[in-house]
Amino acid sequence: MDRIYRVTPQSCIACGKCELACSFAHGSDGRPAQSRIHIFRRGPEAGTPVVCLQCDDAACLAVCPVGALSWNLRTGAIEVSHETCIRCRMCVAACPFGNMHWDEGRHEVAKCDLCGGDPRCVPFCPTGALAWLQPSAAVRPAEPPASGMTGER
Amino acid sequence: MPTLTIDGRRVEAPAGTFLLQACRQAGVPVPTLCEHPAVEPYGGCRLCVVDVTRPEWDGWRKMVVSCLYPVEDGLIVDTRSERVVETRKVVLDLLLARSPRTPLIQRLAREHGIEKTSYEPNPDPTDCILCGLCVRICDRLGHSAIGTADRGAGRVVAPPFHEPPAACVGCLACAEICPTGFIRFESGPGGRRIWNRDFEMVRCPRCGRAHITKAQAEWYGKRMGWPPEEFEVCDACKRREMAAATVTLGSGPKGSAAS
C-alpha cells in the first residue's frame, strides 16, 4: 500500500466526471447511477464526493458470512469476490456510510476497489479534489481550527 | 504439496483441496452446476466427473466427482476421456429432459453436443435442477428456512411442510443464487413475498424507500449486536448524511447549505 486516496471536498466543483469515469471503468455503459462514487451537490459548482473509506475496522468485511470481502494489501482497498459472494446484501445494510451498493442490473454488490491500484476517477478530476498520492504528499499541514476555506488546497 | 497429473500436465495442489480446484487452477475447464466457493462441495450435479488412475493400478481407473475427491500425490487425472464426455452428456441429456425450457441447461447441453433430449421430456417442465444451492446458502446464512422435500422424481425444494417458512427473513439470497431463476419473489413498496410468505418492509425514514424486510433488520441487528433501528436508513440516504456530515465537520465552505 504505497498510495493514499485523498478526497478534498473544498475543491469539488460537482462536475460529475468521477461518477462517469467510475461507471465506465467498471464495465457499465457509463450510467452515473451505477458509479461507486457519488457527488452530493451543495449548491452551484460545489459538491461533496462520497466514496468508500476502506475502513480499517470495516463493517462490510466483518458481517460478510462467507468471507467474500478481503483486503488487497497492495492497493489498500477492500475488494469483493463475486465468485464467493452469495448476494445476501448484509454488507449493504452494514456499511454505516452507504458506500456498499447493490447493482440491480447485474445482481451484484459493488464498492470502490480503487480500480486495482489505479483509480480511474482521479485523472478525470479537473480540480484535484480526488488525488492518489504518496503517503508523504497526502498529509496536509495542520490548520488552525475553524479556519474555514481560505483558498488553499 | 501433492503433485498430480491433469490431462498430461504436472500440477501442484495444496493438500486438503479437491480435484475440481486443482483442475481449474491448472486452467482445465470442468463444467459444474452445483459448485459454489461459499459452500461445501455437494456432488449433486455430477457434471464435474473425471477419470482418475495411478501408475500402480495397472490401467484400472475410476470415475469420480472432482468436487468431492481430495487431491493425492501421484494421481493421474483425465478430464476428457471418452467415458467422462459420455457421462457428462447423459447428465445433461437427463437434465434437459427434466428442464427442457431452461436456457442455462439448453446452453450447457448444446455445448456438449445435445440439441434435443433423447428421453421423454418432462410433461411439467421445471427450472429447478435440484442443485441445492439455495438450500445450502440458506443454511450457510443460519436460517435453514428451505430444504428438499419428497423423494425421487417428486423431489422439490420447499419450506417445511410446504408452508410459509417461519425461519425465512426474506433476504432473497436463495433467489439471487439460483442459477436458473426458478425461485420467484415479488418485492415492492407494499411488501415482499417469497416462498408464499409475506414480509413487512422497513421504510427508510428519510426517503421512504422500502429497502429491507423487518425480519431482515432484526436478523442483522442480532448478528451484528446493533439495534434493528440502525438498519432503517437506506444506503442512498446514508451517503447523503455522510456528505452533510463532511460539510458540518468544517471541510466545506462556510455558509454553504448542506443539502
For chain A, residues with pLDDT lower than 70 are 28, 140-153
CA B215 to chain A, closest CA, distance in angstroms equals 13
Q: For B33-58, what is each residue's pLDDT tens digit?
A: 999 999 999 999 999 999 999 999 99
Angle at Cα A59 formed by Cα A55 and Cα A61, nearest 5°? 85
> Collapsing DSSP states into helix, strand and coil, what is residue B157?
strand
Confidence band for B127, pLDDT divided at 50, 70 and 90: very high
* Chain B contact for A146 (CB, 8 A cutoff): yes
pTM of the model: 0.86
Nearest Cα of chain A lies from the Cα of B154 at a distance, in angstroms, of 27
CA B170 to chain centre: 17
What is the C-alpha separation between B91 and A61, in angstroms, rounded?
38
Chain B CB contacts of A108 below 8 Å: none
Nearest to B26 by CA among B11, B43, B16, B41: B11
Question: Which chain B positions have a beta carbon within 8 Å of A87's beta carbon?
Answer: 172-173, 176-177
* Chain B CA closest to residue A106: B176
Across B229-256, average pLDDT: 79
- A94·B140 Cβ contact <8 A: no
Classify residue A150 as left (phi > 0), alpha (psi -120 to 50) or beta: alpha
- Find the closest chain B residue to A149 by CA distance: B253
Q: Please provide the average confidence, as pLDDT, over all residues in chain A.
A: 88
Identify the pLDDT of residue A37.
95
Say yes or no to pLDDT of B254 above 50. Answer: no
Strand partners, A41: A47
Mean pLDDT, chain B, whole residue set: 92
Interval A93-104: pLDDT, tens: 999 999 999 988
Element (H, E) at B105: helix B103-111
Question: Averaged over B86-110, what is the pLDDT?
Answer: 96
* pLDDT at B259 (0 to 100): 36
Check residue B251 and give its pLDDT: 47
Write down the pLDDT at residue B69. 97
- Which A residues, 36 through 95, put their C-beta within 8 Å of a C-beta on chain B? 38, 40-43, 46, 48, 50, 59, 62-63, 65-68, 81, 83-90, 92-95
- Alpha-carbon distance B151 to B139, whole Å? 20
| Euclidean distance between CA atoms B219 and B197, whole angstroms | 17
Residues of B in contact with A10 (CB under 8 A): 251-253
Quote the CA–CA distance of B231 and B211 in Å, as a whole number.
Answer: 10
**A89 neighbourhood in chain B, CB within 8 Å:** 171-173
ipTM confidence: 0.85
Q: What is the pLDDT of residue B257?
A: 42
B237/A90 Cβ within 8 A: no
In angstroms, the separation between the Cα of residue B179 and the nearest Cα of chain A is 12
Residue of A nearest to B229 (CA): A93
Quick check: B112 pLDDT over 60? Answer: yes
Q: By percentage, how much of chain A surpasses pLDDT 90?
A: 71
Average pLDDT over residues B116-130: 94
Residue of A nearest to B141 (CA): A65
- B231 vs A93: CB contact, 8 Å cut-off? yes
Cβ atoms of B154 and B148 within 8 Å: the answer is: no
